[in-house]
Chain A
Amino acid sequence: MPLSQDNMEEEQFAESYLKKFYNLTEETGPLLRGGVSPKTKKLMEMQKFFQLQITGTLDADTLDLMKRPRCGVPDVDIAQ
C-alpha cells in the first residue's frame, strides 16, 4: 500500500527534524535485515530525552512534540 500524502509529509518532516537536532545521517544502501534502522534509533533517543514512551515509531505524541517551537542550537564543533 502506498503511504498517504499526509503520512509521507509527516515522515519527511520527522526525518528532517531528526537530521537537524539528532544528527541523523542519510540512510543509503541496504539495511541489515532485522537491524534497528538509524532513524528508529534517533527517534528512540529523542523520545528518551523528552520522557515520551519509547516506541521508536512516529506516534502522535512524538510528532506533536516535534512540531512545537524550539531552539536549534548548532553543532558545537562549529564554535570550536
Chain B
Amino acid sequence: FSTFGNNLKWQTNTLTYRIENYTPDMSQAEVDYSIEKALQVWAKVTPLKFTRIYSGIADIMISFGSRDHGDFYPFDGPDGTLAHAFAPSSGIGGDAHFDEDEKFTFRSNTGYVLFMVAAHEFGHSLGLSHSDDPGALMYPHYSYGNPDTFILPRDDVKGIQSLYGGNEEPIAPGPTAPTTPDACDSTMVLDAVATLRGEMLFFKDRFLWRHSQQSSTPQQTLIANIWSSAPDNIDAAFESLESDQVFLFKGSRVWAFSGYDLQANYPKSITSFGLPRTVKKVDAALYEPQSRKIFFFVGKNYYSYDDVRKTMDKGFPKRVDETFSGMTSQVTAALQHRGFTYLYSGPYMHEYSLRSGRLYRVLRNNYFLPC
C-alpha cells in the first residue's frame, strides 16, 4: 500500500458525506446503497464514522459528471478513467467524482460496479494512494467485485490502519481479509499450472502469474482480469494444442477459453471429458503434446483422455505411482515442458521422464515461477 505522505489524513474520525447528484444508470436507492456500503468497507476496519448530510458542504462530496466537470481534471468519455478522488483536506479535498460516461451497475459484471469504484475512490478520500499489490482494492485498475461478498484485502487494511488505527469496537467475526499470494512463499501450494500460447500460467486463489521465457519477471494479475467469467480457486488447468483452448476445472465443471473468450456452451460438466459421474473434482490436469493425451489426476489415480479421438482411453484409471515411480502423494498441479513431465505435490515439483516414468529431480515452485 502507499499513502500520500506528509501525514495527509483527516484529523477527525467523524466525517460527513453528501451525494450531490445521481447517475441515470441505476436507481437512486441502488446508488445510495452502493455509496453507503463502499464507505462502510473502510469504517469496519478503522475508528472512522460516516454521516450522510443532504445539504451544505460535506467532507466528502460525491458527484457524477462527464468530460470537463469543474476541477481541471476532465474525464475522458467511456472506459479509460472511471473516477477520481482528492486526498483529505478542506474544500475539494476528500471529494469523489465519477465519470458519467461510464455504465455503472449495481452488481452485474457488465459495466462497472459502482460499489467497487466508489470503495476505491473513498480510499483516496481517506488518504490512501495507489497500491502495487494486484489484489488490493487500491490497485489502480478496475476489477469486478460483488458488494455482498466483498472483503477488504489485507494490503488495504494495513494501509488504512497505518493512518487511523484499527476499529476498537468489537465486530462480529467474519471472513478474514484475503492476502495476495507471494511467489517467494516457499510453502505455497499452487492450485494449477498450464501453458497459454508459449507462456506459463500459475494459478493460486483468485490470482495467476503469467510468465514467458523471454521475461525474467512473472506478471501477477487477477484471473478475472484475463477471463471475467472464469472461477477463482480452480482445481486444475491445461492448454489443448489440438483446439488452441485453455480449460479450467473447478468442482464438477469445466470452462473453456479461446484467447480471452469463453467458448459457447461452457461451463460444462467434467463428464464431457468422459470422466465417470463418481468423480466430483479433478486434482490436476496434464496435456501431453506429443501424444495429444490429457491426463486427469484424481486422488491416487489418473485417467487418460485422447484429445484427437475425443474419448477416454481404455484401461484407466490407473494408479499414479504405476506410471510415475514414487508418486504416492496427491498430485496438485501438472505441466509438461521440453519433454519432461512436472507433477506438483504440495510445495514440491517432481520432474519425470514420461517415457520411462523415472523421477529425475524434486524441485520447488521457483524453478519455473521465479521469486
Contact = CB atoms under 8 A, between A and B. Distances in A.
Interface string A48-59: 011111100000
B215 A73 contact: no
A76 B8 contact: yes
A21 B130 CA distance: 11
Contacts of A35: none
B92 A51 contact: no
A74 B112 contact: no
B99 to A, nearest CB: 9
> What is the size category of the interface that chain B forms with chain A?
35 or more
Contacts of A20: 81
Interface residues of A, number: 21
B215 A76 contact: no
Given A53-B216, A76-B4, A71 B81 contact: yes
A51 B132 CA distance: 8
Interface string B131-169: 010100000111000000000000000000000000000
Interface stretch (B50-58, B83-91, B301-309): B83-91
Contacts of B121: 71
Contacts of B214: 53
Contacts of A49: 130, 132
11 contacts: A49-B130, A51-B219, A51-B220, A53-B219, A69-B141, A71-B83, A71-B121, A74-B71, A79-B88, A79-B92, A80-B8
Interface of B: 4, 8, 71-73, 79-89, 91-94, 112, 117, 120-121, 124, 129-130, 132, 134, 140-142, 214-217, 219-220, 225
